[in-house]
Amino acid sequence: MRRLPTCLILDFHDSYTRNILKLVTQTKGWDLEGWEQRIVVVNVDSLSWDSFVNEILPHIDCVILGPGPGTPHRDSDFSWPTRLIAEFGDRLPIFGLCLGLQGLATTFGGKVIKAAAPKHGQISRIRLDRTSTTYLDLFEGVRDEFDAVQYNSLMVDAASLPRDLEVTAWTDSAVAGREPEAMALQHHVKPLYGVQFHPESIASSFGETILSNFFAITLAFQQRQQPASEGSPDLPAHVLELSTAFRPRTGPSSPSDSSSSPSDSSRYKLLHVPLGSAAEWTTRKPSGVPQWSHLCIPQTTLSHQARSRTVLVRTAAEGCDTVNLDDAESFTSWLSNLQTALSSQTSFASADRPSVPVGFVGSIAYEMKDETMPLSKRHPLTVREQSAVELAFAALVLSYDHENGTWSANGLVRTAGRGNPTAEQAPLLLSALGVDEEEWTAWLERVSEILRRAPPGESDFSPAPLPTDFCPDQDRETYISSIESARRSIIAGDAYELCLTTQFRSRLPAGSPLLGDPYPFYLTLRATNPAPYCAYFHLPWSDFTLLSSSPERFIRIDRAGKADMKPIKGTVRRSPEDPVEDERRKRALLADEKERAENLMIVDLIRNDMLASCPVETVEVPGLMLIESYQTVHQMVTTVVGQLGEGVRPFEAMMRAFPPGSMTGAPKLRSLQLLDELEQRQDRGAYSGVFGYLAVDGASDWSVVIRTLVKRGRNLTLGGGGAITHKSVAENEWEEVLTKVDAVLGRTRP
């Protein structure tokens, strides 16, 4: 077996680059043992030219220039790799993907121009040029015609290329219905190669073969240059430490599940008590999955101000305390440390207990992007900053299993054990979290008695009609102008897709009985918009209420570290009265090219996100673009799974993928920067963020906050938006936003 060459993969802040690593594991004829020590993905901005030449270049055999937004004609988009190609292209094999191919062309005087029709997430037929005077060693073993995915608005002008660069593959003009476009380049003399398509996409064919061929080209080049060489050693630690993909690290690991009985050293025990069956006390069974409902009792709340870097801790007994995060500590690491310490102090009595949100429950706002993707533009500090995180610690949870019709009680109970919390977590662990045995027993008896009684014939709450006088931050003309600006950015190559949004606002009357508790609004929302991730989250101490009818999971992680993400792209309303028409709509959705392209864009993005937390071999797509049917709609859904790597904690994994790509667009970082301007630097707040829980045992489940009302004081907000592509018709997109908002509010327009 041949040993892989050492390879630097440069990431130009694209959302797909780490997927190249999946291709590495699929190559044939190579010794893949320890491949992680030979191939590394690094952000281009992590290196200066001098640091590359002095610290990286001596250790690598080849370079892959990844895809990315923008154009190589702009230094801020391509930067020093132009110099790499010019100065080392004769002694270092280089393979460019998409932007990387375009950079090869411009370095030698070629031009990059607008494509006749941008293609993002679309599958093209690629045709090899067998009339080329160059041997097509990059395509050895590849069919003359094959399918591959494109994500580009720009292309190389083949007529502008110098004689040293030759086009080796084209789009199939017979399929495309227009002039063929250059899809691959090769230098006549130097080991320089490039492809315009994305071989790393899950829907591309022959990607692993093409990558394997490039590695073979690299080894052959090395042997010609240094016949006596036995190959390069593994990459040194200082290079591997730059990796943006998962790598094992030292430090706290994900909490292991324990089924042992409580010990003297444990400070807490997590109890799960089945309570038997009883009548279902819900307005409507959730549509789709999951099939659990949970009632949580907030004990302590955590409010995080991202820009002032503080955490406000509130308890009913102790009042308020402010935690100031130091410069080296993020909120993500702070909460992860707290959850890890709490888990280490807890004994878990049952190994087969269900996942329940005994732990931290709440909302992570979109503005936490400033922590997870710090290169996205930050707003200036405002006088009144809203919390970016609103969490409650739920020590007592009553759960209902809709499938079995049974209730269970769950709680974190303090024991006589002393434990060993760290100094930073000691005050919170000692005084604020969990209940004592007497409180647990009293609550369990009270709940059991209530469930033994027949459910009341009438609820204390009646549904209240939702306000209909919501007004958007951006009116029709302004929003349409933003859509056209978004389209121009996409056509210019700065993004593949942009999820443009705006906020709709209303204000409750000063004397409204719903100011204190808007639960009647939630009853209406749940009745008219049943969804798998309905949630009512009310924090009187923070004056924050979230009323959600979200249909979309962001990420679920079980206590063993298995993660799954389930993006929805593509929805059509059902026709329950006409089964034939219903089936026709389902098949039409599955075949819709636009919907499939949008789904593929987010699937490739999510695979890339998961590879920041999961070993490559664990990231799989067990269901690609399948139709799931719910009560009122058919939806195109893809499932991506992975296993958290050693040392990656569940909240860290969630935040590495935050914010949800379905609410940003792709590439994610450039999309965030563009959207900040397009949305006039208005905070999205909870909308476009996530809602869910991080349990004591590490289990977590987070939904995307869409179709959701947020109440602060008298103010109600409802976010609305949609994915903008180069094909978007501005007036239609605006109407779609209004339709989504009207559906949540249950209002009709003339």
Q: Which of 664, 647, 602, 717 is nearest to 251 (CA)?
A: 647
**Quick check: 501 pLDDT over 70?**
yes
Of the spans 65-79, 252-266, 448-462, which averages the highest pLDDT?
A: 65-79
Q: How confident is the model at residue 289 (pLDDT cuts 50, 70, 90)?
A: low
Rounded Cα distance, 691 and 706, in Å: 10
- 200 a catalytic residue: yes
**Quick check: 405 pLDDT over 50?**
yes
What Å distances lie between residue 531 and 285, 328, 527, 699, 715, CA to CA? 9, 40, 10, 22, 24
pLDDT tens digits for range 179-188 = 899 999 999 9
Of the spans 64-68, 295-299, 308-312, 324-328, which averages the highest pLDDT?
A: 64-68
Contact of 737 with 745, CB cutoff 8 Å: no
Q: How confident is the model at residue 254 (pLDDT cuts 50, 70, 90)?
A: very low
Rounded Cα distance, 156 and 110, in Å: 7
Catalytic residue among 36, 166, 181, 200: 200
- DSSP of 657-720, one letter per residue? TPSPGGGTEESHHHHHHHHHHHTTT---TTTTSEEEEEETTS-EEEEE--SEEEEETTEEEEEE
Residue 44 identity: V
pLDDT of residue 429: 53
Q: How confident is the model at residue 328 (pLDDT cuts 50, 70, 90)?
A: confident
> Is the omega angle on the peptide bond into residue 93 within 30 degrees of 0, that is, cis?
no
> Is the omega angle on the peptide bond into residue 472 within 30 degrees of 0, that is, cis?
no
Q: What percentage of residues in the chain have a pLDDT greater than 90?
A: 72
pLDDT of residue 622: 95
Q: How confident is the model at residue 667 (pLDDT cuts 50, 70, 90)?
A: very high
Q: How confident is the model at residue 457 (pLDDT cuts 50, 70, 90)?
A: low
pLDDT of residue 454: 61
Phi, psi of 212 (to 5 degrees): -60, -40
Q: What is the CA radius of gyration of the chain?
A: 27
- 98 a catalytic residue: yes
Pairing state between β 2-3 and 30-31: parallel
pLDDT tens digits for range 598-621 = 899 999 999 999 999 999 999 999
- The beta-strand segments (E) located in 308-354 are 310-315, 319-324, 346-348
Contact of 552 with 706, CB cutoff 8 Å: yes
> Is the omega angle on the peptide bond into residue 286 within 30 degrees of 0, that is, cis?
no
Lowest-confidence region among 106-110, 347-351, 466-470, 739-743:
347-351
Rounded Cα distance, 64 and 103, in Å: 12
Average pLDDT over residues 630-638: 82
Dmax over CA atoms of the chain, in Å, equals: 87
**Quick check: 283 pLDDT over 80?**
no
Rounded Cα distance, 721 and 472, in Å: 11
- 614 a catalytic residue: no
Q: How confident is the model at residue 632 (pLDDT cuts 50, 70, 90)?
A: confident
Higher local confidence (pLDDT), 692 or 230: 692
Q: How confident is the model at residue 256 (pLDDT cuts 50, 70, 90)?
A: very low
Rounded Cα distance, 282 and 293, in Å: 9
First to last CA, the chain: 70
Please state, rounded to an integer, the average pLDDT across all residues of the chain: 90
**Quick check: 699 pLDDT over 50?**
yes
Q: Which of 300, 411, 310 is nearest to 360 (CA)?
A: 300
Q: How confident is the model at residue 253 (pLDDT cuts 50, 70, 90)?
A: very low
Contact of 319 with 241, CB cutoff 8 Å: no
Catalytic residue among 198, 272, 294, 634: 198
Residue 99 identity: L
Residue carrying structure tokens 């007994």: 317
Q: Which of 65, 83, 351 is nearest to 185 (CA)?
A: 65
pLDDT of residue 570: 81
Contact of 268 with 346, CB cutoff 8 Å: yes
Rounded Cα distance, 167 and 183, in Å: 7
Q: Which of 2, 34, 39, 8 is nearest to 230 (CA)?
A: 2
DSSP 304: E
**Quick check: 263 pLDDT over 70?**
no
What Å distances lie between residue 24 and 14, 67, 73, CA to CA? 18, 17, 30
**Quick check: 255 pLDDT over 90?**
no
pLDDT of residue 317: 64
pLDDT of residue 424: 54
pLDDT of residue 421: 58
Ranges of H-type helices in 453-592: 476-491, 519-528, 579-591
**Quick check: 381 pLDDT over 50?**
no
pLDDT tens digits for range 219-251 = 999 999 888 777 899 999 999 999 999 987 644
Ranges of H-type helices in 432-531: 437-452, 476-491, 519-528
pLDDT of residue 176: 61
- The beta-strand segments (E) located in 540-594 are 544-550, 553-557, 562-565, 568-573
Domains of the chain and any CATH numbers: 2-240 (3.40.50.880), 268-457+467-561+644-745 (3.60.120.10)
Catalytic residue among 7, 98, 296, 534: 98
